[in-house]
Structure 1
Amino acid sequence: MSSVIYQGLFFLFILLGLALPLGWYIKEIMQGKIPKGVRFLRPVEELFYKVIGPISKKEMSAKRYAMNVVMLSLFSFILLVVLLMTQHLLPGGSAVKNLSLPLAINTAASFVTNTNWQAYAGETTLSNASQMFGLTVQNFVSAGVGLSVLVALLRGLSQVRKKALGNFWQDLTRSLVYILLPLATIFAVLLISQGTVQSFKTGAAYQGLEGKSLWLYLGPVASQVAIKQLGTNGGGFFGANSAYPFENPTLFSNFLENIAILLIPAALIFVFGFWVKEWKQGRTIMVVSLFFLLLAFIGVAFSEYYGPEFARVLGSTNLEGKEIRFGVGWSSLWSVGTTAASNGSVNAMMDSFTPLGGAIPLFLMQLGEIIFGGVGSGLYGMLAFLLLAVFIAGLLVGRTPEYLGKKIEAFDIKMASLVILTPLMLTLFGAMALVVHPDVLAWLTNHGPHAFSELLYGATSLANNNGSAFGGLLADTPFINILGSLMMVVSRYLPIIAILFLAENMGSKKKAALSSGTLSTVSPTFVSMLIIVILVIGALSFLPALALGPIAEFFTMK
């Protein structure tokens, strides 16, 4: 067990060592200060602006910024639905069928919202053209949208008496050209060096051990895997996702992908400190994030390492559903990383984890995926919790709450509450809708508390834009496809709109001077309070549901 803990600490050391310089680089890029080493990409940036037109030069209000985000996403959604429903007619699509309308809607909504929920096996359902020009493109764009919205919030928090939030198209272009594309290229090359497939061929025939002729699926895998992890998307080229050897071949590729899941979210915490010019404010968020991630990792690893006797294989550990080359340590670390961030990729079958080993990743999602979280969305979700904690602290001491020298007023708390409560309410209502459906038992392969855990996990994943699944739930049904599409869209765009209006309101305020009565938001006391606020909201909202699922399964397991 001690070696597993050392693995986690080593991983975090490397993660933070890479995130710090990347955070400085992202801050420089998003503020328009292009470093010399990447100025050769400026013509590409300028070409984007010429294509977009004059709109790419004007600063935007919250309403206009939000409208452009929604219109781009709507256009992307329609284009992707059409592509998926006509893929059989496209080059290289003769071996696959067109997707049904409910599945096409669900898949398009999933990738446009950065969820990457997959109710299909990619290698048998989609063509290479659909994977490349549909899904991979949206992996870039959806991550860029999240990063752009975060930057708009940072402008609002740092500027004084100014409502304009910058230009969405400039923010999106810079995030794509200077951040996501270069990083994805580097990671794709590293993955190819480890054996991750990158080919335009659909597959190759081979003879199996029993003498039967079999088909090995191939495709442009490494390029999709790189951005699916870096953009906290998570959608795999293959149905088995990152547990599949051609998508995640070696221990080193597993380490690279695991780093990629949390790299940009961790770097954005440094961006926050650099942007507001108060690193201690970023330190507060980093300490809280590391606290939850480490605690979750130790909990999952301990539960899987000392699993129930009937599940023990090759010693005392629970290796059911895990790849032997990864073992308990790297499987546990991946499970908490992918659910802390809104990534959703898997390198082990979550359905085979012990009850508590599965409950912890489930709870991480239910917190709103603010522990590092998705690209952009994780940090602005954490900032919503932070503003709520500041507001509560202000009530306790009888002072008007302030953050970064700006007063936190009723409108700000309403917007922060929308960000916090939207995925929470969607999770509960989504789970209820699944449970009361008359066909629910036909969708499940398990019974009892574990079956309820599968339903709760699915609803949580959809409502929090994660995309991972417990397994055991038949996801490709018209009801789940349409319900899931609605949940993913509302959970993505309602918080985005709330964040943009929060940013505009914060930017329009004057900055007050610090005084002896100003609440410190960098002290250990405030860090503790922020942790308590996050836990209380999560525990009060989901403890009854968790008691019916993984907790009940834990106490009834023999």
Structure 2
Amino acid sequence: MSVTAAGFLQLAMVIIVLGALYVPLGDYMARVYHSDRHLSGERLLYRIGRIDPRRQQTWVAYALAVLAFSLVSFVLLYVLQRVQGVLPWADGKAGVSPSMAFNTAISFVTNTNWQSYSPEVVMSNLTQMLGLAVQNFLSAAVGMAVAIAFIRGIVNRRGTGEVGNFWVDLVRGTVRILLPLSIIVAIILLTQGAVQSLRTGFDFTTLDGRQAHSMLGPFASQEAIKELGTNGGGTLSVNSAHPFSNPTPLSNVVEILALLVIPVCLTRTYGTLVGDRRQGHTLLGVMATIWATMLTVVWIFESRTDGVASNAAGAMMEGKEQRFGIPASALWAVSTTGTSTGAVNSAHDSFSAAGGGALIWNMLLGEVAPGGVGAGLYSILVMAVITVFVGGLLVGRSPEFMGKKVGQHEVTLAALYVLVMPALVLSGTAVSVILGSTTGFQGNSGDPGTPGSIHGFGEVLYAYASAANNNGSAFGGLTVTSDWFQTSLGLAMLLGRFLPIIFVLALAGRLAKQRPRSRDVAVGDHALAPVGSVESGTSASDNGFATMTLARTEASTTTADSDASTLPTHGPLFGVLLLGTILLVAGLTFFPAMALGPIAEAVL
């Protein structure tokens, strides 16, 4: 079988499995967050934490809980790194330096997993398991919780301003979704030969007679949650290109599926919770269009044979695993930059100028194709709010989103959300390239005006795009161990994560205080409907959807957004408007910077 045929086979497997899981997993996640039942283990956690799971929170209380939990997580992870040298299972590794520990703690708490170090050299297995792997679960659960809180703001029909209980959402996302899925993925990886060991390593003799040491650790389990949680930080420096973590083409497909499955299926969850599956289908269509377009661009440019080296290799094979080849590398790269994951199975710095530029552009779109766990959903919903406002004004219709008015305050919060990432990326890149002290860290830089210097600019742009979008992947030619990069990228990750969360929750609070124009909401098969509007035998939930119940009915009622005076938020027309808004915002913001880096490099 040719490499191209194998690539299409892997792509087909990814699409087919995602299609098969879309409905059951999406509806399962909706039931998880909608249910008023608490598992015995969950009740124990609530008692230990003195948490009342029935108590609902306003957006302010919810945001404070997110920030407090994240602050405690940061402090604990920072301390663990600093003292790892005196803890068991250290394997001779000393404590992590202050600047690196600061950067890493922020990185994993913000779901970025940016790694300015070689994991097998710097981090002990205890730190990997007790600190980094734990944050892989918790930071992902935080993103999912914020997305669910935003949905509650949309469906809250009582005008109370409540968006749920953060602690309940955090526990359920971790215990009921991430943990069981990670176990399944880890078992599959083990059957393919991924390493799962409590030993720290072993010595061996090389072919030329020298003695060497190989790292061992719990790779399979951490590989599973780093993909499922769209985290990306690996236990080995070459990440998912290492055969200990990703040994076969089948394991490669499984890991691509793992990083896509929750963000994709959350669109189904959204459609189910708001009571109109068409809403989720529209979002999924926009995500799929961006993802497919980016995959096509990267695949084509990486398969070309421009230059002596490329012609000799038959394609752009430098920096790519022979086991996977061009198609699987392109599929992974587009998926990881589109999901805020950051895991890699090839060196992005080795991609062609056009291919690497497409990966940067994929992040600069806001990582909504399909975005990180939870973060992708609330990101595209914010863009949908902006689309409703702009589109409604253009066609003379009232700016409303799912029956809730989008006024000055709502669109201001949405605009602030959108502006955070560009401000961090462009200011961080500008200051870094101006500082003379940073030029030497650009591994592929050269004299001003040369292709090398242009690529060096692209490396810096990629770094801040990755940090501000909480992605974590990088162009490997840039050395980021200086105090400037450790601190500035750490701040970009911190602000790029929590400022948008605050604006999203504030927007959710504004929407939750509104009473929709109509109490009717679309009801599909196994969708949400107002209590009392369906047959007896259903029960109300107290988990932030108190006026809703999961129902099964044959007919659909009139939706609040189906009135002729408002712009429908489903269907191909709105999907095109939403796609255009995403492209327009990113294009106007980042085209000049892209022209100075990847575009200039591609045309030289």
Please classify the TM superposition score into its range, dividing by the shorter chain length. over 0.9
In the alignment, is the contact (CA less than 8 A) between 2:30 and 2:269 conserved in 1?
yes
Number of the residue aligned with 1:226:
224
TM-score of the superposed pair, with normalisation by structure 1: 0.96
For residue 313 of structure 1, report the CA deviation from its aligned partner.
5.9
Is residue 2:463 matched to residue 1:458?
Answer: yes
For residue 529 of structure 1, report the CA deviation from its aligned partner.
1.2
Listed one character per residue, the Cα deviations across residues 478-513 of structure 1 (whole Å, up to 9, x for unaligned) are: 111111111111111111111111111111111124
Number of the residue aligned with 1:477:
482
Listed one character per residue, the Cα deviations across residues 247-303 of structure 1 (whole Å, up to 9, x for unaligned) are: 111111111110001110001011001111101111110110000000000100000
Listed one character per residue, the Cα deviations across residues 102-152 of structure 1 (whole Å, up to 9, x for unaligned) are: 100000000000000000010110001100000000010000101111111
Rounded to whole Å, the distance in 1 between the matches of 2:108 and 2:54 is 28
SS of 1:53 mapped into structure 2 = coil
Counterpart residue identity of residue 29, structure 2: I
Q: What does 1:4-403 correspond to in 2, within 5 Å?
A: 4-5=7-8, 7-32=10-35, 42-160=39-157, 161-312=159-310, 316-403=314-401
Counterpart residue identity of residue 257, structure 1: E
Listed one character per residue, the Cα deviations across residues 220-241 of structure 1 (whole Å, up to 9, x for unaligned) are: 1111111100000000000100
Is residue 2:548 matched to residue 1:545?
Answer: no
Listed one character per residue, the Cα deviations across residues 21-78 of structure 1 (whole Å, up to 9, x for unaligned) are: 11111000111266xxxx9xx2211111111113444211111100010000000101
Listed one character per residue, the Cα deviations across residues 293-325 of structure 1 (whole Å, up to 9, x for unaligned) are: 000001000000113132326763211110011
Rounded to whole Å, the distance in 1 between the matches of 2:63 and 2:454 is 41
Is residue 2:565 matched to residue 1:517?
Answer: yes
Number of the residue aligned with 1:468:
473
In the alignment, is the contact (CA less than 8 A) between 2:398 and 2:566 conserved in 1?
no
Unpaired runs of 5+ residues, structure 1, are: none
Rounded to whole Å, the distance in 1 between the matches of 2:500 and 2:386 is 15
Q: 564, 584, 597: which is aligned to 1:536?
A: 584
For residue 162 of structure 1, report the CA deviation from its aligned partner.
2.4
Q: After the TM superposition, which of the residue ranges 51-60 and 352-361 deviates more from structure 2?
A: 51-60
Rounded to whole Å, the distance in 1 between the matches of 2:430 and 2:255 is 34
Counterpart residue identity of residue 185, structure 2: F
In the alignment, is the contact (CA less than 8 A) between 1:370 and 1:379 conserved in 2?
yes
Is residue 2:543 matched to residue 1:495?
Answer: no
Counterpart residue identity of residue 77, structure 2: L
Unpaired runs of 5+ residues, structure 2, are: 446-452, 519-561
For residue 524 of structure 1, report the CA deviation from its aligned partner.
1.9
Counterpart residue identity of residue 354, structure 1: S
Q: 435, 450, 454: which is aligned to 1:449?
A: 454
For residue 440 of structure 1, report the CA deviation from its aligned partner.
1.5
Rounded to whole Å, the distance in 2 between the matches of 1:80 and 1:60 is 27
For residue 12 of structure 1, report the CA deviation from its aligned partner.
1.8
Aligned alpha-carbon RMSD (Å): 1.4
In the alignment, is the contact (CA less than 8 A) between 1:368 and 1:424 conserved in 2?
no
Rounded to whole Å, the distance in 1 between the matches of 2:254 and 2:9 is 17
Rounded to whole Å, the distance in 1 between the matches of 2:325 and 2:36 is 44
Rounded to whole Å, the distance in 1 between the matches of 2:152 and 2:138 is 21
How many residue pairs end up in the alignment? 550
Rounded to whole Å, the distance in 1 between the matches of 2:440 and 2:313 is 36
Number of the residue aligned with 1:508:
513
Number of the residue aligned with 2:426:
428
Rounded to whole Å, the distance in 1 between the matches of 2:201 and 2:227 is 24
In the alignment, is the contact (CA less than 8 A) between 1:406 and 1:509 conserved in 2?
yes
Q: Which has the higher helix share?
A: 1
SS of 2:212 mapped into structure 1 = strand
Rounded to whole Å, the distance in 2 between the matches of 1:485 and 1:323 is 30
SS of 2:436 mapped into structure 1 = coil
Rounded to whole Å, the distance in 1 between the matches of 2:58 and 2:595 is 45
In the alignment, is the contact (CA less than 8 A) between 1:313 and 1:320 conserved in 2?
no
